[in-house]
Amino acid sequence: MEKRELLYEGKAKRLYHCDDENLLISEFKDDLTAFNGEKKSSESGKGALNNKISTELFKLLEANGIATHFVKMLDANNMLHKKTDVILIEVIVRNVATGSLTRNLGIKDGTVLPFTLVEFDYKDDDLGDPKLNDQHCLILGLVKYQDELDKLRRMGREINDILRPYFEAKGLNLVDFKLEFGKDKDGNIILIDEISPDNCRFWDIESGEKLDKDRFRQGLGGLKVAYQEVLNRILEKK
């Protein structure tokens, strides 16, 4: 499958047309951004690690009944996947309070939440990805019906119910993560984008060490080593 013209370039990936009009190719970049693009850098090999991690996790989710856009990993940095109409809602799933939740609501960092919290953010860099409620989503036309929002929440929790114990068994606490969804050619809502340390927070259960993009956000260093450790744990029993 060959790349054709560039369709879109985002912060972490380039999206290309290919030989099949129903498929696209995502190229995972080594670029790093944080704070809505205010902090930027690059880490050689980061894109390949995210591609491999996402590949393994998409396979896991598919095996557990979650529909995704994943088709196959083409090479180190490129993934073949279904073409979708992207839903401009970021679904944030939280198990432990940290980041913006602690800043905005004053909940102590590291507090285990009494239940899984699912939030919606508007996928719009110019606006700073603001928080959304259901009425905002409908007013903006991001979805047509309330039941589509209900499905996004339900899928977020279902994915969490699969991933949280999976990572717990590997010594990682899945603190929170961001999901993106799209509609396939038949109008079905499916999981898209990636699942990696770029959009998940992983804390080592024993030490509390952060093994995700917070190492870049907080200037901790060792980002590539942390991402490699996540991949190693995913692959350790295969």
3-state secondary structure 104-126: HHCCCCCCEEEEEEEEEEECCHH
Q: In what order do the strands lie in the sheet with 23-28?
A: 3-9, 13-18, 23-28, 78-82, 70-73
Task: Domain 3-82: state its class.
Answer: alpha beta
**pLDDT value, residue 237:** 61
Pick the residue with more confidence: 97 or 238? 97
Pick the residue with more confidence: 84 or 38? 84
Q: Is the pLDDT of residue 66 over 70?
A: yes
CA distance 172 to 235: 14
Q: Kindly give the pairing relationship between strand 89-96 and strand 112-122.
A: antiparallel
Question: 162: exposed, middle or buried (C-beta count within 10 Å: 0-12, 13-18, 19+)?
Answer: middle
Question: 12: exposed, middle or buried (C-beta count within 10 Å: 0-12, 13-18, 19+)?
Answer: buried
**pLDDT value, residue 183:** 98
**pLDDT value, residue 35:** 87
Q: In the chain, which residues fall in CATH 3.30.200.20?
A: 3-82
**pLDDT value, residue 158:** 98
Q: Is the pLDDT of residue 156 over 80?
A: yes
Q: In the chain, which residues fall in CATH 3.30.470.20?
A: 85-222
pLDDT digits (tens, 9 = 90+) for 170-191: 999 999 999 999 999 999 999 9
Q: Is the pLDDT of residue 39 over 60?
A: yes
Task: Domain 85-222: state its class.
Answer: alpha beta
Q: Which residues contact 178 (CB under 8 A, 6 or more apart)?
A: 90, 91, 92, 93, 121, 199, 200
Mean pLDDT over residues 30-37, rounded? 90
- Which range, of 10-19, 29-38, 211-220, averages the lowest pLDDT? 29-38
Q: Is the pLDDT of residue 101 over 90?
A: yes
**pLDDT value, residue 77:** 98
**pLDDT value, residue 1:** 82
pLDDT digits (tens, 9 = 90+) for 46-65: 999 999 999 999 999 999 99
Mean pLDDT over residues 76-102, rounded? 97
- Are the CB atoms for 216 and 38 separated by under 8 Å? no
Average model confidence (pLDDT) across the chain = 97
Q: How far is CA 136 from CA 74, 142, 225, in A?
A: 38, 9, 40
0.85 surpassed by pTM = yes
CA distance 6 to 200: 27
What tokens were used for 2? 């060959």
What tokens were used for 233? 């744990």
- Are the CB atoms for 179 and 90 separated by under 8 Å? yes
